[in-house]
Chain A
Amino acid sequence: MPLRILHNDKRIDEMKEEVDARGLACPQPVIMAKRTIEERGNCVVIVDDEAARENVCRMAESLGCDVRVEEKNGAAYIHISRDNVDKVWEEKEPSAGPTVVVFPYDKMGRGDDELGMLLMRAFLHTLGEVSPRSDVMIFFNAGVKLVTEESEVLDDLHSLEKQGMGILVCGTCLDYFGLKDNLKVGVVSNMYDIAETMLSAGRVIRI
């Protein structure tokens, strides 16, 4: 384990990976910074945009990193250190177990259904591309409309299932909506499985 590194230690700064995100628009600086933190650890992210600066700082802090901003040549040099991260992470780590994403509704968020559907499609596309991966998805109530015939996200769900994602679908709900014969992806499940899966999960994410 490396020793605790002080922020004003110049020699350490020189060893840090530099990420030049000047002139890049949202969310590029955040993505680049996150990837570098994950792959290389400590780094300096250079941005010249107020929103990018705030977003990068917020992301790094949410990962438990120490963040220090230095203004230089009209840009912000964000020094990110994850030396204390492992400790923080251990404290925050939920009980081990699968990550479960639950879909109680066929739209993402409430307010406007057309927008909600658009967001849901973008979300399910993205789930297949980002890490960390989730392990199980549970669809209930109107959420079952996402796994049945008329759904516009079947391709994404099929490919997630192929990648090993468990897809549980509430049988009661399929029955209620008259969609029992229209299931296109996942397995019909019951409240025992659903409750057990949620209760043994490392974390449950509700969409």
Chain B
Amino acid sequence: MSEVESYYVALFDSTSAALLAEKFLKKEGILFKIIPVPHHISSDCGVCIRFFSVEKEKVKNTLRDKVDVQEIRPL
């Protein structure tokens, strides 16, 4: 993974929601990484899911109606 790629992050209200989202994304074969919520975003001190910008729609569709996503935003 190159650092020049642009990323999005999915933020969740709870750690368990992030873990649940992880399962669905894994099943879809989407490349992602669990990271601490970046300092400049942080609404709490939790973890979030980072993925490549090109995967945005796929992530949205995968999680729709399955996981409570607080926000999906550029990193």
Contacts and interface: CB of A to CB of B under 8 A. Distances in A.
Residue among B15, B34, B35 having the largest count of chain A Cβ atoms under 10 Å: B34
A31 interface: yes
A118 B47 contact: yes
Interface of A: 25-28, 31, 114-115, 118, 121-122, 125-126, 155
Contacts of A28: 39-40, 42
Contact of A26 (B18, B19, B40, B44): B44
A118 B39 contact: no
B60 interface: no
B6 interface: no
Given A27-B42, A122-B34, A125-B36, 9 more contacts: A25-B43, A26-B44, A114-B19, A118-B34, A121-B35, A122-B35, A122-B47, A125-B35, A126-B35
A121 B48 CA distance: 11
A121 B22 CA distance: 13
A23 to B, nearest CB: 12
Contact of B19 (A31, A118, A125, A126): A118
B64 interface: no
Contacts of A122: 34-36, 47
Given A122-B47, A155-B1, A25 B36 contact: no
B45 interface: yes
A26 B42 contact: yes
B35 A25 contact: no
Contacts of A26: 42, 44-45
A27 B45 contact: yes
Nearest to A27: B45
Interface string B13-37: 0010011000000000000011110
Contacts of A118: 15, 18-19, 34, 47
A115 B34 CA distance: 12
A122 B45 CA distance: 11
A64 to B, nearest CB: 23
B39 A31 contact: yes
A28 B37 CA distance: 11
